[in-house]
């Protein structure tokens, strides 16, 4: 530009150039500002305003500045991309717009001059969008390579058809739902060559259907007509969305970064609040259209291999390989009411207060049958000693539970237990004995009809008695003791299976031992600890055994001390009991009571480190505490024959921080192997079912140890009766009739 002194230079039209005195020049736009010190810049700016050539500028300023000073200043302005050498025209404003977004304004305007867009609409009037495109100077052409597909539902068959047709000829489709109070725009669906890791139309339809379970259910009975909501919009709302879509189309046409973002996101626009948000659409590795539909089956055929090498890091929430903020950053995109596996994540009303950090997360499911109640919403909660810990806890709990919902791509075999035992099918892998897994007593089976008549909660019901001839679906579980494959009932591990929909209730879904972790080993360890915790809880609770207090103050933890004071300030007492049993892994129960009302809260914790076990118990009390007077109690107080076991035993010494030696393990693999060894010594085998969903990415497993108790009432569990006698807690085993009749469901 400076090689021709006859050129007339000017500042780019989107820049505001003003001096602040004789030696300071400001160059400002929306996104940046520059301060140029030196009288030469102020003088040059004055010359450029007069439309002088470079030669005229040098001559005009020669009395004050040398030619070199003027040229050096002009060179700096040019290198900073402040100058142009053409005459002002009607494209100045558009060039300036793109310059402010960091693009080359000239190139962007050239690309827009060639932009053509086709409009196809299904259940939506295309006219507002066509008018908006025309008003923006975008040519509407039926044969254009870019198609904006206007729909009233992402589930419309026509959307899949138009996408297939357009992509086959090398074009792209921008999807938009312009109606409603929250219109949606995106994603941009293009050929595989242009976006190798972007989601396809099948991925899009999967994610957007998750949060519309009622429409999905009704579509089974009424067809596609049930997939779309009744129209709700105004002329202004549709016009605004159409203009918004036109602006996005322009950005997609001129910006590769914006194009890449559009390929993986849906943009929502709340008309009533003017709030916008981006919703990630993940490409599913197991997608039947663009991925490997056999992913889950292939995963299930591989035995879990415990990897070593990572030194154990004892963090606030336990042995974690990644800090909470890292977990949140990695998986937060899964939270979206538009395209996420998790519909919401926020502080839990009524429980999140003060030092009590409690979050709630939820996901939606479409049950296989017609539910009698609202079984679409599944609520999870999380707790921690900080807000961040609680948020991550709730998120991971929801991902864990979502991963345990049957989707149809899991590895299954259909057979009777006898067929599997005889080796007549599937390589002779042995099944896990179903009745040992569920541990219902003969008395519970005999009273099945009476028990089930009292509730519709399947957790509280007794299934049909299982026999070796009953045919059900099975899924692989791998023994950590032998490395061999076994079979467990699919309906035990996964919710909403076909068996449960058909009323084949031989096995109740039981997520006990399910856990998520930043790596497979972390998930397995957390699952093991949950099983140990609930085994100890059941033995303590149903036998109503008095246990010693935990000396909370002895741990010298500022959070523990502050929490005690906070409960006291609310009029509640807070204490903890040591219920560690024969496995020798610290298990603690924490309780809070309001003496004025007699209301309780309760929480449990298990960990190799007794301090973390106590922390988990205390934060779970927070999680279950609702201070409102009408909150449901954690158990049926009327069926509790005695409350004495809830309080510290007066004849036993309080337990301090050192009474339980932590398991000596340097890495997660060591910790798992030592837990497995303790269970094996007690006569039990450990199995693992890998539930990890590749599209979510968070490792999820279910650890299964037949023989361990659950705190749900499973009165056929032998340990429920033998362990208290073995440890000297009771002089004789209680009968089933003598067990605590206040059932525990938390």
Strand partners, 573: 593
Whether the predicted pLDDT of 245 surpasses 60:
yes
CA-nearest of 291, 295, 271 to 283 is 291
CA distance between the termini of the chain: 75
Claim to verify: residue 67 and residue 144 sit in the same structural domain? no
Most confident of 80-89, 215-224, 555-564: 555-564
Q: What is the DSSP string of 430-466?
A: EEPPHHHHH---HHHHHTHHHHHTT---GGGS--PPP
CA pair distance 345, 332, nearest whole angstrom = 9
User: How many C-beta neighbours within 10 Å does residue 308 have?
Assistant: 12
Phi-psi bin for 728: left (phi > 0), alpha (psi -120 to 50), beta?
A: left
Residue with tokens 């469901």: 745
Whether the predicted pLDDT of 606 surpasses 80:
yes
Helix axes 127-135, 235-254, angle to 10 degrees: 50
Claim to verify: residue 160 and residue 72 sit in the same structural domain? no
* Cβ-contact 155, 205 below 8 angstroms: yes
**Does residue 699 form part of some domain?**
no
User: How many C-beta neighbours within 10 Å does residue 252 have?
Assistant: 21
**Tell me, what's the pLDDT at 124?**
94
Parallel/antiparallel/unpaired status of strands 33-37 and 24-28: antiparallel
CA pair distance 242, 320, nearest whole angstrom = 47
**Does residue 272 form part of some domain?**
yes
Claim to verify: residue 249 and residue 189 sit in the same structural domain? yes
pLDDT, one tens digit per residue, over 107-160 is 999 999 999 999 999 999 999 999 999 999 999 999 999 999 999 999 999 999
**Tell me, what's the pLDDT at 661?**
61
CA angle 77, 82, 84 (to 5 degrees): 105
**Tell me, what's the pLDDT at 726?**
97
- HEC letters along 147-158: EEEEECCCCCHH
> Where does 281-400 show beta strands of DSSP type E?
314-315, 318-319, 344-347, 357-364, 377-384
Phi-psi bin for 602: left (phi > 0), alpha (psi -120 to 50), beta?
A: beta
CATH number at residue 386: 3.30.160
**Tell me, what's the pLDDT at 225?**
62
**Does residue 262 form part of some domain?**
yes
Q: Which two tokens stand for residue 180?
A: 């409603």
Claim to verify: residue 249 and residue 138 sit in the same structural domain? yes
Claim to verify: residue 36 and residue 170 sit in the same structural domain? no
CA pair distance 379, 401, nearest whole angstrom = 9
Q: Which two tokens stand for residue 89?
A: 């025209």
* Cβ-contact 106, 97 below 8 angstroms: no
Whether the predicted pLDDT of 318 surpasses 80:
no
CA pair distance 676, 668, nearest whole angstrom = 12
Among 357, 385, 404, the domain boundary falls at 404
CATH number at residue 162: 3.40.50.720
Claim to verify: residue 62 and residue 135 sit in the same structural domain? no
* Cβ-contact 663, 459 below 8 angstroms: no
CATH number at residue 34: 3.90.930.60
Q: Which two tokens stand for residue 238?
A: 């549709």
Claim to verify: residue 74 and residue 121 sit in the same structural domain? no
603-627: burial string, b at 16+ Cβ within 10 Å, e else: bbbbbbbbbbbbbbbbbbbbbbbbb
Residue with tokens 């997609």: 252
Claim to verify: residue 24 and residue 161 sit in the same structural domain? no
CA pair distance 743, 386, nearest whole angstrom = 31
pLDDT, one tens digit per residue, over 341-398 is 999 999 999 899 999 999 999 999 887 777 766 678 899 999 999 999 999 999 999 9
**Does residue 244 form part of some domain?**
yes
What is the number of helices (H) and of strands (E) in the chain?
A: 25, 27
CA pair distance 201, 189, nearest whole angstrom = 7
Indicate the burial class of 714 (C-beta count within 10 angstroms; 0-12, 13-18, 19 or more). buried
pLDDT, mean of residues 543-553: 96
> Where does 511-598 show beta strands of DSSP type E?
514-516, 573-578, 587-594
**Does residue 449 form part of some domain?**
no
Q: What pTM did the predictor assign?
A: 0.91
Indicate the burial class of 681 (C-beta count within 10 angstroms; 0-12, 13-18, 19 or more). exposed
Q: Which two tokens stand for residue 56?
A: 């005229």
Strand partners, 182: none
**Tell me, what's the pLDDT at 427?**
58
**Tell me, what's the pLDDT at 590?**
97
Parallel/antiparallel/unpaired status of strands 357-364 and 377-384: antiparallel
pLDDT > 70: what percent of the chain?
94
**Tell me, what's the pLDDT at 422?**
82
The domain containing residue 20 runs over which residues?
10-88
Secondary structure of residue 426 in the 3-state scheme: helix
- Cβ-based neighbours of 571, under 8 Å, separated by 6 or more: 594, 595, 596
Length reported for the chain:
746
pLDDT, one tens digit per residue, over 516-545 is 999 999 999 999 999 999 999 999 999 999
Task: Name the average pLDDT for the chain.
Answer: 91
Secondary structure of residue 401 in the 3-state scheme: helix
Whether the predicted pLDDT of 316 surpasses 60:
no
Q: What is the DSSP string of 675-722?
A: HHHHHHHTT---EEEE---TTT---EEEEE-TT---SS--TT-THHHH
CA pair distance 659, 609, nearest whole angstrom = 11
CA pair distance 169, 172, nearest whole angstrom = 9
pLDDT, one tens digit per residue, over 1-56 is 677 888 899 999 899 999 999 999 999 998 888 999 999 999 999 999 999 999 99
Secondary structure of residue 35 in the 3-state scheme: strand
CA pair distance 560, 551, nearest whole angstrom = 11
Ranking 85-89, 99-103, 152-156, 454-458 by mean pLDDT, the lowest is: 454-458
Q: How far is CA 170 from the centre of its chain?
A: 34
Whether the predicted pLDDT of 320 surpasses 70:
no
Sign of the C-alpha dihedral, residues 79, 83, 86, 88? positive
Claim to verify: residue 135 and residue 261 sit in the same structural domain? yes
pLDDT class of 628 with cuts at 50, 70, 90: confident
Claim to verify: residue 254 and residue 324 sit in the same structural domain? no
**Does residue 562 form part of some domain?**
no
Claim to verify: residue 73 and residue 134 sit in the same structural domain? no
**Tell me, what's the pLDDT at 311?**
56
**Does residue 539 form part of some domain?**
no
Claim to verify: residue 121 and residue 255 sit in the same structural domain? yes
pLDDT, one tens digit per residue, over 206-243 is 999 999 887 777 777 776 665 677 788 899 999 999 99
Considering its fold, how many domains does the chain have in total?
Answer: 3
**Does residue 270 form part of some domain?**
yes
Indicate the burial class of 598 (C-beta count within 10 angstroms; 0-12, 13-18, 19 or more). exposed
pLDDT class of 338 with cuts at 50, 70, 90: very high
User: How many C-beta neighbours within 10 Å does residue 86 have?
Assistant: 11
Between these two residues, 187 and 652, which has the higher pLDDT value?
187
């Amino acid at each position: 530009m400076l090689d021709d002194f006859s050129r007339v230079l000017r500042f780019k039209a989107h820049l505001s150039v003003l001096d602040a005195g004789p030696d300071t020049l400001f160059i400002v736009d929306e996104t940046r500002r520059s301060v140029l010190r030196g009288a030469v810049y102020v003088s040059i700016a004055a010359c450029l305003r007069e439309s002088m050539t470079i030669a005229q500028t040098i001559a005009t300023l020669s009395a004050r500045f040398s030619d070199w000073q003027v040229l050096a200043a002009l060179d700096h302005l040019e290198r900073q991309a402040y100058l142009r050498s053409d005459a002002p025209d009607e494209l100045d404003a558009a060039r300036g717009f793109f310059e402010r977004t960091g693009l080359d304004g000239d190139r962007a305007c050239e690309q827009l001059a060639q932009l053509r867009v086709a409009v196809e609409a299904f259940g939506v009037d295309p006219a507002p969008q066509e008018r908006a495109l025309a008003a923006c100077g975008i040519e509407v052409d039926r044969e254009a390579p870019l198609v904006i597909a206007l729909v009233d539902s992402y589930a419309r068959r026509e959307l899949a058809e138009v996408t297939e047709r357009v992509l086959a000829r090398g074009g792209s489709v921008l999807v938009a739902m312009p109606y409603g109070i929250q219109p949606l725009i995106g994603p941009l669906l293009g050929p595989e060559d242009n976006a190798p890791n972007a989601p396809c139309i099948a991925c899009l339809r999967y994610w957007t259907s998750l949060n519309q379970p009622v429409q999905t259910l009704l579509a089974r009975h009424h067809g596609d007509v049930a997939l779309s909501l009744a129209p709700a919009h105004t002329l202004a709302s549709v016009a605004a969305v159409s203009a918004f879509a036109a602006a996005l189309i322009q950005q997609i046409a001129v910006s590769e970064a914006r194009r890449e973002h559009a390929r993986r996101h849906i943009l929502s626009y709340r008309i009533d609040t003017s709030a916008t948000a981006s919703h990630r659409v993940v490409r599913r590795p197991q997608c039947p259209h663009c991925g490997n539909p056999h992913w889950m089956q292939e995963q299930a055929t591989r035995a879990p291999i415990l990897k070593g090498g990572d030194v154990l890091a004892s963090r606030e929430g336990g042995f974690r390989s990644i800090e909470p903020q890292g977990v949140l950053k990695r998986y937060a995109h899964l939270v979206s009411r538009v395209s996420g596996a998790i519909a919401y994540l926020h502080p839990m009303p009524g429980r999140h207060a003060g030092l009590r950090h409690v979050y709630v997360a939820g996901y939606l499911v479409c049950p296989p049958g017609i539910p009698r109640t609202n079984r679409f919403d599944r609520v999870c909660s999380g707790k921690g000693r900080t807000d961040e810990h609680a948020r991550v806890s709730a998120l991971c709990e929801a991902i864990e539970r979502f991963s345990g919902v049957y989707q149809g791509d899991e590895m299954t075999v259909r057979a009777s237990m006898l067929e599997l035992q005889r080796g007549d099918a599937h390589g002779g892998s042995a099944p896990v004995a179903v009745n040992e897994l569920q541990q219902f007593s003969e008395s519970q089976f005999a009273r099945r009809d009476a028990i089930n008549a009292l509730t519709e909660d399947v957790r509280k019901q007794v299934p049909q008695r299982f026999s070796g001839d009953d045919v059900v679906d099975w899924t692989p579980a791998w023994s950590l003791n032998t490395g061999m494959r076994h079979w467990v009932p699919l309906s035990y591990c996964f919710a909403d299976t076909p068996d449960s929909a058909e009323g084949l209730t031989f096995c109740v879904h039981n997520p006990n031992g399910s856990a998520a972790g930043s790596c497979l080993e972390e998930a397995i360890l957390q699952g093991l600890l949950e099983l140990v915790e609930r085994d100890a809880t059941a033995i303590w609770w149903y036998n109503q055994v008095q246990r010693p207090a935990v000396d909370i103050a002895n741990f010298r933890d500022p959070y523990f001390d502050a929490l005690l004071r906070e409960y006291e300030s609310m009029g509640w007492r807070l204490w903890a009991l040591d219920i560690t049993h024969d496995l020798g892994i610290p298990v603690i129960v924490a309780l809070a009571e309001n003496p004025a009302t007699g209301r309780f809260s309760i929480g449990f914790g298990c960990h190799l480190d007794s301090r973390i076990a106590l922390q988990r118990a205390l934060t779970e009390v927070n999680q279950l505490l609702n201070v409102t007077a009408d909150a449901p109690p954690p158990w049926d107080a009327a069926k509790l024959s005695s409350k004495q076991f809830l309080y510290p035993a007066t004849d036993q010494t309080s337990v301090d921080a050192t009474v339980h030696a932590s398991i000596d393990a340097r890495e997660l693999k060591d910790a798992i192997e030592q837990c497995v060894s303790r269970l094996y010594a007690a006569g039990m085998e450990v199995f693992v079912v890998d539930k990890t969903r590749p599209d979510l990415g968070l490792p999820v497993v279910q650890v299964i140890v037949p023989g361990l108790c659950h705190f749900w009432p499973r009165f056929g569990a032998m340990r429920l009766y033998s362990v208290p006698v073995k440890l000297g807690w009771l002089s004789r085993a209680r009968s089933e009739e003598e067990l605590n009749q206040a059932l525990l469901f938390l």
